[in-house]
Structure 1
């Protein structure tokens, strides 16, 4: 498939994911739609343009691994897994319902395609580090991708993982930072400043690329670049907009875990076309 065709498919999938994720949050009256929407273009690019996997064989040894470290953004993850064929669409309306496999945080014991349970922030990146180290020790050619929120980087465990990954030169590890600059309640820089984030990762021994996290072509170019010749792990700082795609949600900290009323739901559906 030509790269332009792949990019168009990713855009179509991302739009479907936004509509389905927002419907899930509306029906459940629970969720984190702002962070879902900042991450969806990134996740859609990984699943429909970059990663190697087989939904019929979730434990395929040669699969690429994806760890959703910002585990609260389950609307984005579950819609991607559904669109990729890991489970049927009629599971989505069960989101956060009693005995649903679609918990508020992903659980690999319930849901195929989930590499590790996440939710407590600062855990997913260290687990992805361990996965990448295992691949290095066994000589596997699988890639490991991990998506963190930027507010999540205030957890010290991430910097221990970053230091170790740089020291071990884990060239098949890619960290993507969802840099929407908002966390629960306020901006990241008001809470505990992260800038200059690029220089921090370079100091820990990483290659760093900064990209528009909603530009599918740019994401595809960066994330699909071959690892041959690389000698360091890669940090992709994806500049994003919290609530991207719905005007009344964009860049609003309240939509970190806000849920829409009926009027807001209809307005959002009219924009998401």
Structure 2
């Protein structure tokens, strides 16, 4: 895919306002009659802080050789990442109004053919290990690039997650950070009921990670904790566990797993837009 066909000129510094990002997700989901709204909403603040304050893209180029890497392992949350990429000027407005229309470049899962999306994910558990490989590559090259892998709490039921975790700790990949979207749900129910994970922080610590848990919607806490983890003198890889709300920002979607696969109609779209517009900053 030709990157220039998607990337637009960026004239103002994006602020990544959570309300704006959620509205973009709703507009996309309604235009495309598609799903996965709740799991996109739970990662909005996590992505906003990463793009605003941490991810490095020299020249605002998503393909810059010196860039940091963001691997969206929970690829079904990609509408939240698309919304951030729009703020950066990497995607044209037509890509959003024509989402899921015939010929649309943007899919419902992360697709590495889109500049800015590092991996094709959706087969859960695999993106994490790709991210570990990217971090290992940066270490071998001697660069200062950082790699972030964003995973869901249901996703970490997958065995490849823990294989990658062992590898990252063994090789002291201090340039690697996993961010867990702990919203308490997966496709078929509550994570606690499907396969109880216990303390996610304790699990990553037991695998040799330096780990911290925070409110995944508190942008100041997210920013502060990312900086704290990177400032550590430990050579261990890092884990940030964000405790989030699936469907955050729209009351009838919050903690309601039906919105993993439910499509918006005219009425629910209007109600959701009003809720997002009136939500606290």
Which band: TM-score by shorter chain?
Answer: over 0.9
Aligned Cα root-mean-square deviation (Å): 1.6
Matched pairs, number: 264
Residue 12 (structure 1) shift: 5.1
CA–CA separation in structure 1 for the residues paired with 2:276 and 2:15: 12
Residue 117 (structure 1) shift: 1.1
Give TM-score, length-normalised by structure 2: 0.90
CA–CA separation in structure 2 for the residues paired with 1:117 and 1:227: 31
Q: Residue 63 of structure 1 aligns with which residue?
A: 67
Residue aligned with 1:178, SS: strand
Q: Does residue 1:169 correspond to 2:172, yes or no?
A: yes
Residue 121 (structure 1) shift: 0.5
- Determine which of 47, 63, 73 is the counterpart of 2:77: 73
CA–CA separation in structure 1 for the residues paired with 2:164 and 2:32: 35
Residue aligned with 2:242, SS: strand
Compared CA separation, residues 217 and 11, structure 1 to 2 (3 A): farther
- Residues 16, 87 of structure 2: 8 Å contact kept: no
Which runs of 4 or more aligned residues in structure 1 lie more than 3 Å from their structure 2 counterparts after TM superposition? 9-12, 224-228
CA–CA separation in structure 2 for the residues paired with 1:171 and 1:129: 11
- Determine which of 150, 153, 169 is the counterpart of 1:150: 153
CA–CA separation in structure 1 for the residues paired with 2:194 and 2:60: 43
Give TM-score, length-normalised by structure 1: 0.92
- Residues 70, 152 of structure 1: 8 Å contact kept: yes
Q: Residue 123 of structure 1 aligns with which residue?
A: 126
- Determine which of 227, 239, 245 is the counterpart of 2:243: 239
Q: CA-to-partner distance for each residue in 1:89-136, whole Å, 9 max, x for gaps?
A: 231112222221111112222x11111111110111000000000011
Q: Residue 51 of structure 2 aligns with which residue?
A: 47
Which sections of structure 2, spanning at least 5 residues, go unmatched? 1-12
